[in-house]
Amino acid sequence: AEGSAAAAPSLGFSAIPTSAADAVIVPDGYRVQAMLPMGTPISGAMPAYSLSASGEDQAHQVGSHHDGMHFFPLQGSSRDGLLVMNHEYIEPRFLHAAAAGLALDRSGFPQNEDGSRDDDQVLKELNAHGVTVVRVRADDQGQWQVVEDAHNRRITGLTPMRLAGPVAGTEHVVTKYSPDGSMTRGTLNNCAHGVTPWNTYLAAEENWAGYFANSDAELDRRQARYGIETRDSGRYQWHRAAGGADEYVRFDASARGASASEDYRNEPHAFGWMVEIDPMDPASTPIKRTHLGRFAHEGVIFAPAVEGQPVVAYSGDDARFEYIYKFVSARPFEAATADGSLLDEGTLYVARFNDDGSGEWLALVPGENGLTPENGFADLADILVNTRSAADHAGATKMDRPEWGAVDPITGQVYFTLTNNTQREENQTDAVNPRADNTFGQIVRWQEEGSHAGTRFAWDLFVLAGDQDDSRDLTGEPLDQDAIFASPDGLWIDPDRRVWIQTDISESVMNSGIYEVFGNNQMLAANPETGEIKRFLTGPVGQEITGVITTPDQRTMFVNVQHPGATTEAEAFAAGNLISHWPDGGSAIPRSATLVITREDGGIIGA
């Protein structure tokens, strides 16, 4: 009801058609520049991008697989600021010169004859993960450039990090590296992000489980419930680095020492968190905030902070049949003193969506919702390390892969993308996850009762994504040709309330079968009042579009292009047929990069 009183945003651009071209296409009257491709030097001796760059070079270069990002203006500028972005993962064959000529598929990695891995390749892979903080500035021609600056920094899979909140210092995170359980090394698979009300950046740890191996006979739920497997099936195999260095061997979480402080059996328990980074302080140690829960964190979105009220943050667990969570701080927000310690005390809730359009938040707190020692939950730290198991026990609603969230700045409605879930069976559908074999995904939204800190809400489906035969917009009509899309993932609501939707159709099915009609992954804009949706951007071959933010004046938009060319088959790769050469063109290896989008008339993006 509150929503209908709010002004609707304009969508004044001409929608563009779908595209299967190896190019970025934007509407008439818009311009696009690609910058910060993987390997761009930002710090140290500014090592130039090269296929033979070393692992150490990579620690001074932009990482790979650009994802969530934010623009932190310097002195409020819309032409000069710190771009902070996540690097979700890597493709070894595009990272290593040695991989050229080998018939590797997209998950393949080079290895030595004895099955070990080259140390410098492992170092380069760890350093291509994490987060980039880089100062960027528009020149007189409006072209954005890297500025060498003391803020520029790479945070990687090796950066020392502090643990904070209820799990810090507990037996769950005791390792040889940190016998008191206060520290860990690195962050991995940083998908989306969040920006706190005190202007720091949170990087999510999503599919971290895939980096670990464990050959113990049996795994407990702290690892098994998150998909760590007992066999050496992982893609990266960092623990097999030839030199046997401790920082690589730790990815084998098998129990080998006499106790947890002599090995890395607990190493995976230091992953699956949200990591706070202060981009304004280049000497700061990143902090894993454990009260926000441990799962495959897609990202986090904060409700607008209100003086004297709790801080509230929403986060999705992107896996089939997982959940949507929210954290409510114990202490109130006070702008003058607010900092990350607000995230260390509070209540983590998980969502239940009822079929009648109501919903409730179930507290994951000792003694509530059956979370007792008798039921296997010893204390708050045990609940948080085992967030998924606690949510199972509380009876939350199993969702179709929750990805990004966004909060309408005027109405306070919370939106979440549910990207797809092809494993949902007919007898598992419900009102919020209404389709069996859900190949196209949907976007849910809700309004909290009272305030964001409340425990009840009312929800509806904003859109059922899909083709013209299997989709439904807010008015109940199928999506038209300018609006069809599948697998919504990235989501952002700009200050004028435009709902920006980014798609991630898996590269394994993109442009084929039922997905052919959608073309390459893309970005659309929606009107939250009318439900109108218009296609704004299409990306090159084999990529996903993810990450979006504008400058404060909304006249420059940054968008990330992740994993162009990922559809290249192993034989084609060996033969040098890479399918995509974006953004460099010619015969170049494709690289993730950041788009800078402006209007020829200098206007607001999307208006």
Strand, coil or helix: 247: helix
- In degrees, to the nearest 5, what angle opens at C-alpha 476 toward C-alphas 472 and 480? 50
Min. distance of Cβ 536 from Ca ion in angstroms?
18
| Residue 298 sits in the site that holds ligand FEO (CB under 6 A) | yes
The separation between CA 382 and the C-alpha centre of its own chain, rounded to angstroms, equals 25
Contacts with ligand FEO, 419-448, as mask; x by CB under 6 A: ------------------------------
384 binds, among Ca ion, ligand FEO, none (CB under 5 to 8 A by kind): none
Count of residues engaged in binding ligand FEO, rule: CB under 6 A: 7
- Name which of 191 and 270 has its Cβ closer to ligand FEO: 191
Least Å distance, CB 296 to ligand FEO, is: 7
Nearer to Ca ion, 183 or 191 (CB): 191
Encoded one letter per residue, x for contact with Ca ion by CB under 5 A and - for no contact, window 454-493 reads -----------------------------------x----
Q: How far is the CB of 298 from ligand FEO (least distance, A)?
A: 5
Amino acid at 399: M
CA distances to 29, 508, 561 from 21, in Å: 20, 17, 14
- With respect to ligand FEO, which residue has the nearer C-beta, 47 or 63? 63
d(CA 551, CA 78): 5
- Comparison of 318 and 382: residue with beta carbon closer to ligand FEO: 318
What minimum distance in Å lies between the beta carbon of 501 and Ca ion? 12
- Retrieve residue 555's tokens: 């006249």
In angstroms, the CA 63 to CA 594 distance is: 12
Closest CA to 95 of 60, 127, 66, 117: 127
Give the residue among 391, 169, 151, 385 at the shortest CA–CA distance from 279. Answer: 151
Nearer to ligand FEO, 381 or 418 (CB): 418
Nearer to ligand FEO by C-beta: 106 or 135? 106
Per-residue contact string for residues 187-216; x = within reach of Ca ion by CB under 5 A: ----x-------------------------
Q: How far is the CB of 489 from ligand FEO (least distance, A)?
A: 6
- Of the residues 22, 317, 403, 532, which one makes contact with ligand FEO according to CB under 6 A: 403
Q: Residue 206 touches which of ligand FEO, Ca ion, none (CB < 5 to 8 A by kind)? A: ligand FEO
* Beta-sheet strands, E only, within 427-493: 442-448, 456-464, 488-493
Least distance (Å) between residue 191 CB and ligand FEO: 3
Q: Which is nearer to ligand FEO, 16 or 418 (CB)?
A: 418
Please, which residue, 118 or 206, has the CB nearer to Ca ion? 206
Could you say which of Ca ion, ligand FEO, none residue 322 binds, taking C-beta under 5 to 8 angstroms by partner kind?
Answer: none
* Count of residues in the chain: 607
Nearest to ligand FEO of 86, 520 (CB atom)? 86
Structure tokens at 108: 């393949």
Among 467, 504, 507, 532, binds Ca ion (CB under 5 A): 504
| Residue 532 binding partner per list ligand FEO, Ca ion, none, with a CB distance cut-off of 5 to 8 Å that depends on partner kind | none
- Considering only residues 179 to 238 of the shown chain, the ones binding ligand FEO according to CB under 6 A are 191, 206
Closest CA to 487 of 473, 469, 501, 497: 501
CB 561 within 8 A of CB 581: no
What are the two backbone dihedrals, phi and then psi, of residue 270, each rounded to the nearest 5 degrees? Answer: -90, 10
Q: At closest approach, how far in Å is the CB of 386 from Ca ion?
A: 24
The answer to whether 540 and 23 have CB atoms below 8 angstroms apart is yes
Asked if residue 322 binds ligand FEO (CB under 6 A), the reply is no
Q: Which is nearer to ligand FEO, 65 or 599 (CB)?
A: 65
* Helical spans, DSSP H, in 479-578: 570-574
Q: Are 327 and 203 in contact (CB under 8 A)?
A: no
- Residue 160: count other Cβ atoms within 10 Å of its Cβ: 12
Which one of 35, 62, 70, 88 is in contact with ligand FEO (CB under 6 A)? 88
Q: Cis omega (within 30 of 0) on the bond before 583?
A: yes
Q: Which residue in the block uniquely carries the two structure tokens 């950046």?
A: 201
- List the 358-363 sheet strands across, edge first: 301-302, 310-316, 324-332, 346-353, 358-363, 456-464, 442-448, 414-418, 402-407
Instruction: Answer yes or no whether residue 91 interacts with ligand FEO by CB under 6 A.
Output: no
Smallest distance from the beta carbon of 156 to Ca ion, in angstroms? 20
Of 274, 246, 256, 237, residue with least CA distance to 178: 246
At 104, which amino acid appears? L
Q: Which residues bind Ca ion (CB under 5 A)?
A: 191, 489, 504
Footprint of ligand FEO (CB under 6 A): 88, 191, 206, 298, 318, 403, 489
